[in-house]
Structure 1
Amino acid sequence: MRRKRGRTIDVEEGESYYVSMTDMMVGVIFIFIIMLSYFAFEFRSTTAKLTTARHPESAALLQTAANLTPKTADIEIDYKAQVLCVPEAALSEAGEGAAGQRRCFAFSPPTKASAQTVSVMDAQRLLMQALDADLRDAKAPVTGDPSGGSLSFRADQLFVAGTATLSPDGQRIAGNVAQSLVRRLPCLGYGVAAGANCADGGAKLAVVNVTSQTNLDAFSAEGQRAAALALQRAAAFHQALTAAQPDLARLRNAPPGQPGSQPLLRVASVGQSQEGASKVGDDQAVSIQFLMAG
């Protein structure tokens, strides 16, 4: 006698439908992920173009102007009043407009940056990009945006709590930072032989400050201890950098022996007084600030 297997067939068909539906949903989700990634990339790209453009307003308009057409027209410009006028007919694709009528617009004349200023800006930008890349490769916990001209670290990631003693992780970070600095700074300073890839007569640094920032109550004993601890931490981090790479201590902001020549790597401390400031050592930060000469 043959046994009926209809129930088994129904179960197998149900499982087959379930697997097919799951595969379809995974495919749909994957498509959405690709679309979101594409739009995120385009958004970042467009934002970068607009924020770094020399004339952001023009850059924004050019994003929407997809069919610019060259056209010959007689324009009139009052450079003193910064007003530009064009024939009204030039603003119509068909040349419509009353004869003799004009449309006028205000404008700002272009400014010409000196070659030295551009060189200084480019040098600092390239320096910060290189340092940021070095430290990210080394997994050093840089906080904030280095493009502003400084590398910042949370003090609690560098020091034993409440002290100016570097923790083992802080010593590792200081070593990574020192290694990056000694690779990048000789081109921008004096006193240490620069590499063959350094440009002659390029921009130079005026000072590289190892700075510790803290919030404090300047009128309390605890606030004064916080200020003292901040300075001690800046000095300790400076010493860790120069101990890891002694060439950093030999770098100068001007040729050795020249009047006004000072060590390039120096120490500073900044304390901002405020009510209800945190306890000694809390919320402090250590940063390295790069100031270009000229």
Structure 2
Amino acid sequence: MAALGRARRRRTPDLEEGESYYVSMTDMMVGVIFIFIIMLSYFALQFRQSTQALTEAKHPETAALLQTATALTPRDVTVEIDEKARVLCVPETVIGGAGQDRRCFSFGPPTKTTRKTAAAGEAQGTLMRFLDADLRDAGAPLAGDTAGGTLYFRADQLFEPNSATLSAGGRKIADDVAASLAKRLPCLSYGGPTTSTCPEGEAKLALVNVVSQTSIDAFTPEGQNAAALALKRSAAFHQALTGAQPVLGALRSAPADQPGSQPLLRVASLGQSQEGASRGGDDQTVSIQFQMAQ
């Protein structure tokens, strides 16, 4: 028993040494992770500041160049400028050359992109991402990319053949689209219900256009009928949207008492004359185009 007790006492320092080693390694790993988090936060802040400086700059290209040019030195230089042709010439010696020639550069007019325009583009991009996610979650058959500010649908998935009557599947699509629009558009327009969730000063929509597009042979009765069918389908889809969500019919591009105020949702059709075009309108598409106010 005495020998067993001595053996246990000899193992105790080994156990304590192992625990100490484990604690030291844990502390070191926590310290490394903490340093990594600090570095990541610093670079994220720098990236955000740089991005904000570029997007809000009056001349983004110049702002980008100034971020890389860290050793600019002032010089007294005589330059020649042709404002009409937008050409600027400087002596070659100014930019490190040894000859007596000139180096000329073209320049464009000042960009007119304003903070308001940038905000409108950002608001449209956010809107399209939300609509895309809503409709894909609902299983709506979107055709094409929504990043350009347009939702595309094939007419044969919405309407009965050679008709402006919505099919059962088309009515389901219209209901899904209307539900998403009713959730997203009131904050970007006038005349709808206002909620506290709408951001202050957010850009507004100028127009949401329901457009039916088709290729036609404009010189035949069939082609002219296809053009008329395209307009009827635009109107039918518009009516299905506003019927499913009446709030969409109340939305306007500007306050109702302001001159030029129009309903936000409107209708259009586009028929392009083309040889070999379909005569029955079975190649038509119906799209919803979103245009921001500038």
Distance across 1 between alignment mates of 2:136 and 2:93: 56
Contact 1:191-1:255 at 8 Å conserved across structures: yes
Q: What per-residue deviation string (whole Å, max 9, x for no partner) do you get for residues 14-60 of structure 1?
A: xxxxxxxxxxxxxxxxxxxxxxxxxxxxxxxxxxxxxxx9979x99x
Q: What residue identity is the alignment partner of 1:226?
A: A
Contact 2:216-2:271 at 8 Å conserved across structures: yes
Distance across 2 between alignment mates of 1:284 and 1:204: 30
Cα shift at 1:183: 1.2
Partner of 2:156: 156
Contact 1:153-1:286 at 8 Å conserved across structures: yes
Q: Are residues 221 and 89 of structure 1, via their aligned partners in 2, closer, same or farther at CA, if it must alter by over 3 Å?
A: closer
Cα shift at 1:278: 0.8
1:7-22 matched pairs, under 5 angstroms: none
SS of the residue 1:120 aligns to: helix
SS of the residue 2:147 aligns to: helix
Cα shift at 1:78: 3.9
Moved more, 191-200 or 69-78: 69-78
Q: Are residues 250 and 69 of structure 1, via their aligned partners in 2, closer, same or farther at CA, if it must alter by over 3 Å?
A: closer
Distance across 2 between alignment mates of 1:255 and 1:77: 54
Q: What residue identity is the alignment partner of 2:159?
A: F
Contact 1:208-1:288 at 8 Å conserved across structures: yes
Q: Are residues 260 and 83 of structure 1, via their aligned partners in 2, closer, same or farther at CA, if it must alter by over 3 Å?
A: closer
Cα shift at 1:203: 2.0
- 1:206 is the counterpart of 2:206: yes
SS of the residue 2:206 aligns to: strand
1:1-294 matched pairs, under 5 angstroms: 70-71=70-71, 73-74=73-74, 76=77, 78=79, 80=81, 83=88, 104=103, 106=105, 108=107, 111=111, 113-294=113-294
Q: Are residues 80 and 286 of structure 1, via their aligned partners in 2, closer, same or farther at CA, if it must alter by over 3 Å?
A: same
Q: Are residues 102 and 69 of structure 1, via their aligned partners in 2, closer, same or farther at CA, if it must alter by over 3 Å?
A: farther
Point out where structure 1 has 5 or more consecutive residues left out of the alignment: 1-52, 63-67, 92-96
Cα shift at 1:251: 0.7
Find the structure with the greater CA-based Rg. Answer: 2
Q: Are residues 185 and 280 of structure 1, via their aligned partners in 2, closer, same or farther at CA, if it must alter by over 3 Å?
A: same
What TM-score do you get using the length of structure 1 for normalisation? 0.66
Q: What per-residue deviation string (whole Å, max 9, x for no partner) do you get for residues 240-259 of structure 1?
A: 11111111011111212333
Q: What residue identity is the alignment partner of 1:221?
A: P
Contact 2:217-2:279 at 8 Å conserved across structures: no
Contact 1:74-1:87 at 8 Å conserved across structures: no
Contact 1:207-1:265 at 8 Å conserved across structures: yes
Distance across 1 between alignment mates of 2:80 and 2:142: 48
Q: What residue identity is the alignment partner of 2:133?
A: A
Contact 2:81-2:89 at 8 Å conserved across structures: no
Distance across 1 between alignment mates of 2:227 and 2:135: 28
Distance across 2 between alignment mates of 1:79 and 1:158: 62
CA RMSD, 1 decimal: 3.4
Q: What residue identity is the alignment partner of 1:122?
A: E
Contact 2:120-2:292 at 8 Å conserved across structures: yes
Q: What per-residue deviation string (whole Å, max 9, x for no partner) do you get for residues 116-138 of structure 1?
A: 22222222222222222222222
Aligned residues: 231
